[in-house]
């Protein structure tokens, strides 16, 4: 499932230029990466100039070829629809006369991001700031949402997405000789990477994996 978002920049004449972003639009992902790595007018303009986005950051291209590792860190790049390719007229940046028109752009999005450049430095590398708005229910307005400084989904030190591991107990009695059966699941960005069901018994250890005898 995708979390759609719209990414825009406030221009010097108070118009807004925006693009659509298909995946991972929640503040803990797109918000985090926008705030940390796209913090100047120049960077945001370059980001938007290539049109609509599939993934703001991706470890692979459209051919599912992974980007290289550099200094033990995964290279991440923006995945644009223009590289698939798609007709430019369908994916080019949209120009809005004002912020009201920007918020009226309906991409079935759940979040909108608006970059506010510093006053008097519209064309330079001075840092501006991002605003995030929840657009899940436009009839109730678009409340602002805080963009976190850290991400639960990305390990900055390792340069990799974090994998979330969960264990669910499926069977466990109070008897001393009862066996333990549990589900172990590893997921990343909402996608299951690995999942197995294990069964352990006293004095025997691991006896089954996914219902099959281990030994």
pLDDT, tens digit (0-9, with 9 covering 90-100), for 133-166: 999 887 778 999 999 998 877 777 777 777 788 8
Range 61-79 average pLDDT: 91
What are the pLDDT digits (tens) for 19-54? 999 999 999 999 999 999 999 999 999 999 999 999
Smallest CA-to-CA distance from 123 within 11, 7, 8 is with 11
Q: What is the DSSP letter of 29?
A: I
The DSSP string of 116-151 is EPPTT-TTSS-B-EEEEEE-S-GGG---EEPPPSS-
- Which has more confidence, 160 or 68? 68
Smallest CA-to-CA distance from 132 within 103, 161, 158 is with 103
State the chain's mean pLDDT as an integer: 88
Residue 120 has a pLDDT of 67
- In contact, 78 and 50? CB cutoff 8 Å: yes
CA–CA distance, 190 with 50 (Å, rounded to integer): 27
pTM of the model: 0.77
Highest mean pLDDT among 18-32, 109-123, 190-204: 18-32
Tokens read off for 168? 């669910």
Tokens read off for 22? 């298909």
Q: Is the pLDDT of residue 215 over 80?
A: no
């Amino acid at each position: 499932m995708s979390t759609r978002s719209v990414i825009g920049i406030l221009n010097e004449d108070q118009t807004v230029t925006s693009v659509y972003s298909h995946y991972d639009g929640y503040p803990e992902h797109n918000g985090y990466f926008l705030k940390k790595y796209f913090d100047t007018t120049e960077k945001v303009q370059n980001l938007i100039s290539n049109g609509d986005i599939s993934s703001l950051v991706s470890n692979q291209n459209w051919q599912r070829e992974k980007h290289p590792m550099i200094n033990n860190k995964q290279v991440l790049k923006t995945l644009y629809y223009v590289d698939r390719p798609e007709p430019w007229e369908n994916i080019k940046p949209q120009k809005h006369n004002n912020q009201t028109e920007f918020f009226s752009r309906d991409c079935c999005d759940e979040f909108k991001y608006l970059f506010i450049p510093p006053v008097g430095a519209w064309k330079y590398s001075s840092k501006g700031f991002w605003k995030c708005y929840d657009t899940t229910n436009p009839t109730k307005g678009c409340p602002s949402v805080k963009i976190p400084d850290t991400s639960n989904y990305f390990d900055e030190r390792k340069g990799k997405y974090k994998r979330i591991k969960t264990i669910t107990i499926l069977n466990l009695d109070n008897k001393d000789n009862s066996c333990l059966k549990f589900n172990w699941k590893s997921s990343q960005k909402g996608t299951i990477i690995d999942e197995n069901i294990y069964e352990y018994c006293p004095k025997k250890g691991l006896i089954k994996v996914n219902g099959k005898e281990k030994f």
